[in-house]
Amino acid sequence: MEYYSVLLPLAIILVLSKVLVKFCERLNLPSVVGMLLAGIIIGFVKFIPGQDIITATSLEGLGFIAKIGVIFIMFNAGLGTDIKSIKSIGVPAILITAAGVIVPMGLGFVVACLFNGGFGVPKEVLLSNLFYGVILTATSVSVTVATLREMGKLHGKVGDTIVAAAILDDIIGVIVLSVVIGFSGTGANAEAPSMVILKTVLFFIAAIIVGYICNKLFRAIEHKFPHHRLLPILSVALCFFFAYASEAWFGVADITGAFVAGIVLSGNPEVNYIERKSDIMGYMIFTPVFFANIGITTEFGGISTELIFFGVCFIVAGLIGKVIGCGTAAIACKYGVRDSLKVGIGMMARAEVALVCAQKGAEFGMINTSIMPFIVILIVISSFTTPIVLRKLYRKELEKEKAAQAVPVEAK
């Protein structure tokens, strides 16, 4: 492979992504959108005759970096998981998460069935339709968290619930993804459903045991070599190992392995140090390449009128699925109607994990890659509407507080 041909698209991706991410930040859009946009723009280069920027060779190289990139994205997502915050919120978070997973997944499945061959179909189509549902499960609360923080409402009943439920639904989403992919095994990889579930369970048991031992070991290392680069390097190695072992030995997706490795280390006292280094690896090269690569490889040619209808319904299913699911569950947990609506809206935002899931599905041939642009649109819409609606919902409350502040009160 004339590997150096990958260097030019790499340089272009890094510069263009960064410029567009800056631009998106101004519009309060998540940076993912900027990186995707960079990829879509670069993708058009392939239509210029005689260009040698986007070639089969450079695409292969970018694809390889993107695949390491998604491992880092999921590892960092895992590292950022604060298991303790789930414990503190307890039963309501679990119920809200469950409803927030089941309702959008169900709606996504129904929409997919309506457009992709009905309900009474062979296993493959059924699983494919289910996968469309899976894509809609994972919330990405960074936009919500930023909005709540801005209003000083991050720490409160609603804020805590949203953060806990979003963490939980990432975990559940990843598990569901693993199982659905496991079921979908074709040819030599086909396994009995019971075997898939058994292997998935075994993976999590093994991960907990290995994780426990590694955490002990890492603490000892940190004690001996405080703040040394040893720890982040070993953490990345653990991430790679988990990603490999999950896929090769347990038939569980590699991204699940990376995510679980992150969760395992999230309890480590040095998690911030590990996260910082691993984050640099991500943003310096791997993450932009992953998202840009999605943009580059998106085929707009395959978008028919029917697919547009499907895509629109799919987006709507994604948006209202979370609001209905989480909102109703919150009401059932005796949250007020307005608070329940806040939770529902707060959980509506999607970002990188939805794309990672979709990309995985495309890799396994389970979904039509032409759906990608619609997932991007879902991300853009949810990122725009979530902050606006949340602010509206909090307006009265904030006005009251402002009025109260005008009257001098004792500092608490």
Cα(320)–Cα(344) distance, integer angstroms: 9
> Least distance in Å: CB of 10 to a copy of itself?
5
Task: Considering the complex, state which of residue 199 and residue 350 has its C-beta at the smaller distance from a copy of itself.
Answer: 199
Cα(232)–Cα(209) distance, integer angstroms: 20
Cα(357)–Cα(317) distance, integer angstroms: 17
Residue whose entry in the numeric block shows the structure tokens 């915050």: 85
Secondary element (H or E) of residue 61: helix 56-79
Footprint on residues 259-278 left by a copy of itself (CB under 8 A)? 277-278
> What region does 140 belong to: left with phi over 0, alpha with psi -120 to 50, or beta?
beta
Using CB under 8 A, which of 232, 262, 361, 373 touches a copy of itself? 232
| Contact in structure between 175 and 200 (CB atoms under 8 Å) | yes
Sign of the dihedral through C-alpha 280, 281, 284, 287: negative
> Least distance in Å: CB of 92 to a copy of itself?
38
Using CB under 8 A, which of 170, 222, 247, 339 touches a copy of itself? 247
Q: Which tokens is 12 given?
A: 């272009």
Of the candidate spans 36-44, 133-141, 157-165, 243-251, the one that interacts with a copy of itself by CB under 8 A turns out to be 243-251
Residue in 10, 130, 98 with CA at minimum distance from that of residue 61: 10
Task: Considering the complex, state which of residue 151 and residue 281 has its C-beta at the smaller distance from a copy of itself.
Answer: 281
Footprint on residues 14-33 left by a copy of itself (CB under 8 A)? 14-15, 18, 22
Using CB under 8 A, which of 234, 316, 320, 331 touches a copy of itself? 234
Of the candidate spans 116-124, 135-143, 175-183, 280-288, the one that interacts with a copy of itself by CB under 8 A turns out to be 280-288
Length of the chain: 412
> Least distance in Å: CB of 16 to a copy of itself?
9
Asked if residue 216 binds a copy of itself (CB under 8 A), the reply is no
Q: Which tokens is 170 given?
A: 């990432």
| Contact in structure between 134 and 355 (CB atoms under 8 Å) | no
Footprint on residues 48-77 left by a copy of itself (CB under 8 A)? 60-61, 63-64, 67-68, 71
Binding residues vs a copy of itself (CB under 8 A): 1, 3-5, 7-8, 10-12, 14-15, 18, 22, 60-61, 63-64, 67-68, 71, 229-230, 232-234, 236-238, 240-241, 243-245, 247-248, 254, 277-278, 280-281, 283-285
